[in-house]
């Protein structure tokens, strides 16, 4: 995603300034924002030409010729959703905005079709025993169970590769030979794979202390038993734009109380709410960490990701959430495995 610093304008900017930006920029577009970077509209060469035909001059403000209803991508939009919007409107680029309509960057559609390889490592935690899925996992590690006629882990690898993230480290333990034999060095899948053997179980963060060399770019950490079509490119952009130390992907979870809830003060009934629904955010098992987060992980001991986040929060580091609204399923039990096989071809 391209930053907008060089192509953004205020509504009080002149048409002359807009022309200069459009002519110099490879995107051939200008983004018009307010003082808080909230999107007001876009400008192209065509918009300017129409303004000049309506007797505007180069020193007039752009406010009157801004296209105020541009098609935008949200941070949580999947690659497929962005491409569909672009194809429908015949767009070559699209502003990407956050939940408050602030412009985070601009997405070139061509890059989605042919993503560039990116340097950010992907650390996949694939050493679990999968005890709740026995007997399926007695000979096969859980990430290698087939969903949609391919291992869960293969879908994860292929999804990251679609976004240009091809430098992958697999933290292995249980039945690691099954994983190694299937993926090898990753070349058959268009990626490069290294393996990190956990001699003892080290938790969802402990194995990160074994990384060598230490990544010098923000990196992904993901559990190897998840199915999701989340936009990993947007996750990286969001983490970087927010200058965060750690980003946790979260998923909304609804819980309905099966009874009427009585709100009481002392012995007086204030209200009765019938079967209320409570909404929570839960960890989605996908994280983005900056290299300095590794400094908090102790060597050679069990350490999980919630503990890492609690440590970072206590030390005042910036820890943020990234909501996933795309398809997401944690395959931990037999009913979830069966559901994944039913839903796979609808979403992948």
Query: In the CATH hierarchy, which top-level class contains the domain 8-113?
Result: alpha beta
Give the separation between CA 248 and CA 250, rounded to whole angstroms: 6
How far is residue 131's CA from residue 320's CA, in Å, rounded to a whole number? 32
| Per-residue exposure over 3-22, b if at least 16 CB sit within 10 Å of its own CB, e if not | ebeebbbeeebebebbbebb
Share of the chain above pLDDT 90, in %: 20
- pLDDT of 138 above 90: no
pLDDT in tens, 234-249: 889 888 888 899 999 9
For 299, counting Cβ atoms within 10 Å of its Cβ (0-12 exposed, 13-18 middle, 19+ buried), the class is exposed
Q: What is the mean pLDDT of the chain?
A: 85
Q: Are strands 246-256 and 226-228 parallel, antiparallel or unpaired?
A: unpaired
Q: How far apart are CA 139 and CA 86, in angstroms?
A: 45
Nearest to 227 by CA among 294, 324, 298: 324
- Given a cut of 90, whether residue 79 has pLDDT beyond it is no
How far out from the chain centre does Cα 305 lie?
Answer: 17
Evaluate the omega torsion of the peptide bond into residue 157 and state whether it is cis, within 30 degrees of 0. Answer: no
Q: In this predicted model, what pLDDT tens digit does every residue of 283-306 receive, in sequence order?
A: 889 999 999 999 899 888 888 999
pLDDT at 123 over 90: yes
- What are the domain boundaries of the chain? 8-113, 122-347
pLDDT at residue 76 in the model = 77
Return the pLDDT at 132: 74
How many C-beta neighbours within 10 Å does residue 71 have? Answer: 13
Q: Assess contact for 80 and 34: CB atoms under 8 A.
A: no
Q: Which residues of 209-248 are buried (b: 16+ CB within 10 A; e: fewer)?
A: bbbeeebeebbbbbbbbbbbbbbbbbbbbbbbbeebbbbb
Range scoring the smallest mean pLDDT among 109-113, 210-214, 238-242: 109-113
- pLDDT of 229 over the 80 cut: yes
- Residue 222, pLDDT score: 94
Mean pLDDT value across residues 186-200? 86
- Predicted local confidence at residue 291, as pLDDT: 93
pLDDT(197) > 90: no
- Provide the pLDDT confidence category of residue 1 given band limits of 50, 70 and 90: low
Above pLDDT 70, what percent of the chain? Answer: 97
Helix axes 176-183, 152-162, angle to 10 degrees: 50
Query: Is the pLDDT at 114 greater than 70, yes or no?
Result: no
Evaluate whether 93 touches 109 at the Cβ level (below 8 Å): yes
As a CATH number, domain 122-347 is 3.90.550.10
Per-residue pLDDT tens for 20-72? 888 776 667 888 999 888 999 988 877 887 787 788 888 888 888 898 888 88
CA distance 253 to 239: 23
d(CA 175, CA 152): 15
């Amino acid at each position: 995603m391209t930053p907008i610093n060089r192509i953004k304008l205020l509504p009080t900017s002149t048409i002359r300034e807009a022309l200069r930006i459009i002519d110099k920029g490879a995107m051939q577009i200008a983004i018009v924002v307010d003082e808080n970077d909230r999107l007001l509209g876009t400008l192209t060469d065509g918009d300017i030409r129409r303004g000049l035909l309506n007797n505007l001059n180069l020193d007039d403000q752009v406010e009157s010729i801004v296209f105020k209803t541009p098609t935008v991508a949200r941070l949580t939009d999947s690659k497929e959703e962005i491409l569909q919007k672009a194809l429908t409107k015949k767009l070559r680029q699209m502003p990407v905005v956050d939940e408050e309509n602030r412009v985070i960057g601009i997405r070139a559609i061509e890059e989605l079709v042919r993503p560039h390889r990116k340097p950010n490592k992907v650390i996949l935690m694939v050493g679990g025993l999968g005890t709740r899925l026995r007997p399926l996992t007695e000979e096969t590690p859980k990430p290698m169970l087939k969903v949609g006629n391919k291992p869960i882990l293969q879908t994860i690898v292929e999804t990251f590769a679609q976004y240009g993230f091809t430098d992958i480290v697999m933290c292995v333990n249980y039945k690691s030979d099954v994983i190694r034999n299937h993926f090898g060095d990753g070349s058959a899948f268009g990626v490069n794979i290294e393996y990190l053997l956990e001699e003892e179980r080290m938790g969802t963060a402990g194995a990160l202390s074994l990384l060598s060399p230490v990544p010098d770019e923000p990196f992904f950490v993901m559990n190897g038993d998840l199915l999701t079509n989340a936009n990993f490119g947007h996750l990286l952009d969001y983490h970087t734009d927010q200058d965060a130390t750690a980003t946790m992907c979260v998923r909304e979870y609804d819980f309905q109380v099966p009874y009427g809830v009585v709100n009481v003060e002392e012995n007086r009934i204030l209200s009765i709410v019938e079967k209320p629904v409570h909404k929570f955010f839960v960890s989605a098992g996908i994280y983005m960490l900056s290299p300095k987060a590794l400094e908090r992980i102790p060597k050679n001991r069990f350490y999980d990701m919630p503990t890492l986040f609690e440590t970072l929060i206590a030390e005042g580091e910036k820890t943020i959430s990234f909501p996933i609204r795309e398809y997401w399923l944690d395959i931990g039990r037999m009913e979830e495995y069966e559901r994944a096989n039913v839903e796979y071809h609808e979403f992948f």
